[in-house]
Amino acid sequence: MQSESAASKAGNWLGDPKLRQVNVVVCTADCTLEGTTYRMQDQRLLDSLCGGFDASVYRLGREFLPLTEVRVHLPRGKKESTAYSFVMKPSILFVAERNGGQEEMDRLERARKWGMKVKMPLLTKVWIPPYTLVGRMHAAMWQELAHILDVEEMFLPMTSVVVTPALPTGESTFNFVAVNRARIVRVGDPPRGSETARTKRRSNARPRKPKPKPKARAK
Q: Give the residue-averaged pLDDT of 167-187.
A: 96
pLDDT tens digit sequence for 105-115: 444 455 555 55
Residue 172 confidence (pLDDT) above 90: yes
**Residue 82's pLDDT is what?**
94
Q: Taking residues 167-190, report their average pLDDT.
A: 95
Categorise residue 127: left if φ over 0, alpha if ψ from -120 to 50, beta otherwise: beta
- Domains of the chain, residue spans: 4-198
Contact 135, 161 (CB under 8 A): yes
Q: Would the pLDDT of 5 be above 60?
A: no
Q: Which fold has domain 4-198?
A: SH3 type barrels. (2.30.30)
pLDDT value at 100 more than 50: yes
The whole-model pTM stands at 0.77
Q: pLDDT tens for residues 112-161?
A: 555 556 678 889 999 999 999 999 998 877 778 888 898 889 999 999 99
Residues whose CB is less than 8 angstroms from the CB of residue 85 and which lie 6 or more positions away in sequence, other chains included: 33, 35, 66, 67, 70, 72
